[in-house]
Amino acid sequence: MVDHAVRGELIMEDGGDLMRFASADEMVPALEIWIDDGRSPVTVRLVGVLDRTTRTSLLTVTDELIVKGVRHFAIDAREVEIVDALGMAAPGMCQQRARAAGGTLRWDGVAVRSVIEPVR
């Protein structure tokens, strides 16, 4: 399986403490990512669907913040829905990346929706 590259950039919002990840293709996002880096831990708020197509955005944002020196994260995932196995793997991958950089990552709420019907 090939994970498609997501092109975009972190954009500072008015006030200087909030950033959002903007997709370069200007499509309506399936996953919105809001970043509040005005305190530690940095809060990353997710809204929408986390799946095989959107997880790359989350991983890219995590990597970019680590490169910028962020080590402690609080992920607000109360408004995100995980709908497939690759989306389900993303939280663990973010956790591993934060720990590898000497940091911490805390998750607040994740909803998993089954998209596969059980076999009867």
Pair of tokens at residue 1: 């399986």
Task: Give me the percent of the chain exceeding a pLDDT of 70.
Answer: 67
Cα–Cα distance measured from residue 119 to residue 95, given in angstroms and rounded to the nearest whole number: 32
Task: Give me the percent of the chain exceeding a pLDDT of 90.
Answer: 44
Q: What pTM did the predictor assign?
A: 0.69
Residue-level pLDDT at 69: 95
- Going by pLDDT thresholds of 50, 70 and 90, the confidence category of residue 105 is very high
Span 8-112 CATH architecture:
2-Layer Sandwich (3.30)
What's the pLDDT tens digit per position in 37-76? 888 999 999 998 888 889 999 999 999 999 999 999 999 9
Residue-level pLDDT at 25: 52
Domain boundaries, the chain: 8-112
Mean pLDDT for 91-117 is 80
